[in-house]
Structures are given as structure tokens and as C-alpha cells.
């Protein structure tokens, strides 16, 4: 799984892991911060949240255009610096507690702007560097697997983020302490990016040069038109996936806070201890290594598997019979599932490829939309008969919202199951979509097209506010999730209807 990849992949993946750890630490508690600190309604908090994440994913479009002119390495480095100052400003009240509410609102919006701009310079351009590594003939067949590994590294950072945010808030009593974590992670990220630059320096190529320092191979105007059209059609579809998926930091977090039990017992305790999840991840990867390695490597993998299993047993055995859980901790399940399921999905698709039956990238995207719809079917089923969000106690500035009475709340397993199913959809769509863009984009427009991928994601992220806007409208809770189900199903049908056209563009 880790063989036959350019070593630059690992440097870029680790640099992205640090940045994503900081970002998801902030995002895990951002919606909760907006309501507890300022008393915003779900609609207002959702609007701020969605505009911010839309900005985060739209700015790579601008960053891509700049990178096509000035180079990818320069933009990535600049982006990390800008983001650092954004997170520093966002955490400012932790260092200066005398800041007033009005001042904190101003610094918050300024910080969000800096983070969005910095991410625009960093995120898309880093992924173009990864794609460029796989333009070399010896690595071309490994492109999808390479992006799957890259995506897995992102989620390793995201997996630790909710626990880091929770620990900081619990210890220091302010959400701003959680935001400060991102500053530290960005220092680590830029250190990795600069120290290992020789590993990927040759991938910093634009339309003016190729990996071999020769002119980029030109394609016809008709081919350019076909490819760009195919990409735009895919972008139109993924808008609705991200509208649904990024409810994780918005309405799904509100569901965790207001409708899900605040305590877990028995086996349910396993998933709410980050070290249990780490032990499971190590066990999964060592188990795969047992079957893929030979000789001494197989025995080492077996010992690692036994150690990880033993560590999980002792960690679980030492836990309290009842564990209190914070709503932000549910956000660690998606990245955990991504990390665990990535080798499974890669093994399945590798087996299908050997039999020449692997689905095309556009087909995987369509299937991802179908799976996402199923995820919200589970959440809708759990919500039948529950009180509408409009009937819950009102939000009071400076106080944590009350939510539903504990005896009326549902098991955490409903939300965890939804995250699991959405992860299957994400693995089919997100890394495959990024790979599709890097493969299909005309050479002269690689940066711009990767930016368009993020612009489509940004549009979906802004549409997150549509669901947050009707959260307190009085609509039945199950019907709110039903809107997302319909959007995903329509998107899947559309991608299937143009499948042949998309597959032709990849040839």
C-alpha cells in the first residue's frame, strides 16, 4: 500500500496533516463557540459557519490562479504564514481576557478572513504538487492510491483534533484556548514543508515547464473544451455532497449536543477515547501488513498487532463504567473511519483493477452520492417523533444551551452510524474527485481547475446554511434530514446520466 510512491508524497502529506489538525481543532468547537459566547441562533451561527467554510474552500480558486503565475511552493509557504496570524488573532481572548464582546466579534471576523485567505494559498496548491508528482511515467498508475494515502494523512490530523479542542476547553474554560492549538500545529507544518522541500521541488511546475524541464505537451482546443466541460459537470454534482457532508460541524453537532445522550456505557465507551481509536488504527494497519509482508516483516507486524490489541484491552478495561461525552467528540469518528477504511478501499479497488472491473472515477463519485443519501436516511429514522429544534429551550448568551431532556435523547450509535456511512461516501467521492481533477485538467489550467474544485466545495459549504436556517423553523427534525437525502439522490441520478461523457474525458 505504501510502496511505489514518490517520497515527496509523504513530506506533503505530513505538512498537510499538521495544518488540518489545527483547522479541525478549531472547526470542532466553532459552532458551539458562536452560540455559547454570543448567543447566536442556529440560523445566525450557521450563516457565519457556512460563510467561513465557503471562504476557506473558495479562496483556493484565487490561490490556484496566483500559483499558475508565481509557483506553487511560494503560495503554500505564504498561506501557512497568513493562516498562523489568523489563528493567533482568533485565540487572542485566551491571552487577553479583558477583550470585550464587541471587540472579540471584530477580531473573530478578521481572523476568519485571514484563515480563509491563507487556506486559499495553501490547500489547493499543495494538492497540485501531489498531483504533479504522479505526472512522472513511473508513478502515473498510482495516482488514485497516492491521493487516497494523502487523504488518509489529512484525516489522521483531523482524528486528534476534537479531543485536543475538548481537552483545551475543559482545562482552560474558554473556547479560545482550543483555537490556539492551530498556531502550534502550523509551526510544525511549515517546518516539515521547508525541511523536506528537496523531495518535491521538481513538482513545482506550471504551464511554462514540465517535470523534465521541457514544454508541457499541448492538447487540442476541442480536448480542452471537453475536459473543462466534464470537470464543470462534476463540480456541479459535488456541491450537494459538501452541502450534506459539512453538516458535521453544524446541524449534526447541534444534534449531538441537543438530541444525543451525554453519557455512554459498555462497549460504546471505546470510541470516545482517542487512544482507543489509535490502538484500533494500529491494529488494522498491522493486520494488513501481516498479509502483505514476507519473512521478518510479517512477524514484526504480528507483534505490533498483538501489542495494539493488548493496549486497547487495557485502555478499555481501565475506563469508568460511565463516561460523559462532549458533542464535539463525535467529529472524530469520520476521520477515524477514513483512516481505518482507506486500506480496505484500496485493497478492494486494487483487486477489481487486477480483474479489470474497477469502477471509473466518475462512477465512484456517483456511488458516493448514493451512499451519502443512505447516511441521512439513518439520521432521519433516528429523528422520527422527536421534538422540533424550535421547541427546545431558547439560547441565552453566555450560557451553554440546554437541549432535550436526557431521558428523551437517542443513543450515540445513531450519529456514529451516520458518520460511518458518510465516510464510505466520502472515500468514493473526495479523494477520487481530487485525483480526477489532477488527471483531467488541461496542463495550462491545472491550478485554476483545482481551484474550481474547491470553489464548488465552497458553494456546497455555503449551502450548509440552508439547513441551519430552517433548523429552528418548526419543521419536523426528520424532514430536515430528508432535504439532504433528496439532494444526494438527485445528484447521483445526474452523474449516472452523464457517466459516458465523463468517462470519455478521462481517455
Taking Cα atoms as reference points, which of 38, 39, 165 lies closest to residue 104?
Answer: 38
Q: What is the mean pLDDT of the chain?
A: 88
CATH fold for the domain made of 8-202+220-273+319-505 = Growth Hormone; Chain: A; (1.20.1250)
pTM score, whole prediction: 0.86
User: Is the predicted pLDDT of residue 214 greater than 50, yes or no?
Assistant: no
The single residue listed with the C-alpha cell 490530523 is 157
Question: With contact defined as beta carbons under 8 Å apart, do 72 and 124 qualify?
Answer: no
Q: What is the pLDDT of residue 168?
A: 92
The rounded distance, in Å, linking the Cα atoms of 146 and 149 is 5
Over residues 45-104, the pLDDT tens digits come to 999 999 999 998 888 888 888 887 888 889 999 999 999 999 999 998 888 876 788 888
Residue 205 pLDDT level (bands cut at 50, 70, 90): confident
The stretch 398-412 carries a mean pLDDT of: 86
The stretch 441-447 carries a mean pLDDT of: 79
Give 260's DSSP letter.
B
**Length of the chain, in residues:** 507
Q: What is the pLDDT of residue 430?
A: 81
Q: What is the pLDDT of residue 194?
A: 92
Neighbouring residues of 466: CB distance < 8 A, sequence distance ≥ 6: 243, 483
The rounded distance, in Å, linking the Cα atoms of 239 and 8 is 30
Taking Cα atoms as reference points, which of 265, 380, 261, 254 lies closest to residue 328?
Answer: 254
Amino acid at each position: 500500500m505504501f510502496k511505489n510512491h514518490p517520497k515527496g508524497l509523504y513530506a506533503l502529506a505530513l505538512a498537510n496533516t499538521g495544518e488540518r489538525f489545527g483547522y479541525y481543532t478549531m472547526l470542532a468547537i466553532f459552532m458551539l463557540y458562536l452560540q455559547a459566547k454570543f448567543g447566536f441562533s442556529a440560523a445566525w451561527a450557521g450563516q457565519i459557519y457556512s460563510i467561513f467554510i465557503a471562504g476557506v474552500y473558495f479562496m483556493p480558486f484565487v490561490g490556484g490562479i496566483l500559483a499558475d503565475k508565481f509557483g506553487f511552493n511560494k503560495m503554500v509557504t505564504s498561506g501557512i504564514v497568513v493562516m498562523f496570524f489568523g489563528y493567533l488573532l482568533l485565540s487572542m481572548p485566551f491571552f487577553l481576557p479583558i477583550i470585550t464582546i464587541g471587540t472579540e466579534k471584530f477580531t473573530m471576523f478578521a481572523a476568519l478572513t485571514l484563515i480563509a485567505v491563507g487556506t486559499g494559498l495553501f490547500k489547493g496548491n499543495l494538492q497540485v504538487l501531489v498531483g504533479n508528482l504522479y505526472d512522472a511515467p513511473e508513478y502515473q498508475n498510482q495516482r488514485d492510491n497516492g491521493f487516497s494515502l494523502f487523504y488518509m494523512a489529512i484525516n489522521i490530523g483531523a482524528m486528534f483534533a476534537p479531543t485536543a479542542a475538548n481537552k483545551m476547553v475543559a482545562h482552560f474554560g474558554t473556547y479560545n484556548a482550543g483555537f490556539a492549538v492551530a498556531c502550534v500545529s502550523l509551526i510544525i507544518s511549515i517546518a516539515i514543508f521547508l525541511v523536506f522541500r528537496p523531495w518535491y521541488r521538481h513538482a513545482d511546475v506550471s504551464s511554462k515547464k514540465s517535470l523534465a524541464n521541457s514544454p508541457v505537451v499541448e492538447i487540442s482546443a476541442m480536448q480542452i473544451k471537453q475536459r473543462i466541460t466534464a470537470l464543470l459537470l462534476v463540480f456541479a454534482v459535488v456541491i450537494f455532497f459538501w452541502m450534506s457532508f459539512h453538516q458535521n460541524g453544524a446541524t449534526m453537532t447541534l444534534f449531538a449536543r441537543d438530541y444525543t445522550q451525554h453519557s455512554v456505557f459498555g462497549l460504546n465507551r471505546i470510541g470516545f477515547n482517542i487512544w482507543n481509536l489509535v490502538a484500533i488504527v494500529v491494529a488494522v494497519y498491522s493486520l494488513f501488513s501481516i498479509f502483505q509482508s514476507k519473512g521478518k516483516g510479517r512477524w514484526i507486524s504480528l507483534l505490533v498487532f498483538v501489542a495494539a490489541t493488548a493496549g486497547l484491552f487495557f485502555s478499555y478495561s481501565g475506563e469508568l463504567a460511565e463516561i460523559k461525552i462532549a458533542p464535539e467528540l463525535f467529529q472524530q469518528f469520520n476521520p477515524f473511519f477514513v483512516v481505518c477504511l482507506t486500506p480496505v478501499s484500496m485493497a478492494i479497488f486494487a483487486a477489481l483493477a487486477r480483474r479489470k472491473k474497477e469502477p471509473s472515477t466518475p462512477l465512484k463519485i456517483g456511488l458516493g452520492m448514493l451512499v451519502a443519501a443512505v447516511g441521512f436516511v439513518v439520521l432521519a429514522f433516528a429523528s422520527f417523533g422527536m421534538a422540533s429544534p424550535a421547541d427546545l429551550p431558547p439560547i441565552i448568551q453566555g450560557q451553554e444551551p440546554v437541549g432535550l431532556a436526557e431521558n428523551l435523547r437517542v443513543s450515540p450509535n445513531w450519529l456514529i452510524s451516520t458518520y460511518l456511512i458518510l465516510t464510505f461516501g466520502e472515500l468514493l467521492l473526495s479523494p477520487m474527485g481530487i485525483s480526477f481533477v489532477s488527471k483531467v485538467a488541461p496542463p495550462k489550467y491545472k491550478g485554476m481547475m483545482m481551484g474550481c474544485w474547491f470553489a464548488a466545495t465552497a458553494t456546497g459549504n455555503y449551502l450548509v446554511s440552508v439547513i441551519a436556517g430552517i433548523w429552528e423553523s418548526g419543521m419536523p427534525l426528520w424532514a430536515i434530514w430528508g432535504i439532504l437525502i433528496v439532494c444526494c439522490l438527485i445528484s447521483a441520478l445526474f452523474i449516472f446520466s452523464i457517466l459516458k461523457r465523463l468517462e470519455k474525458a478521462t481517455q
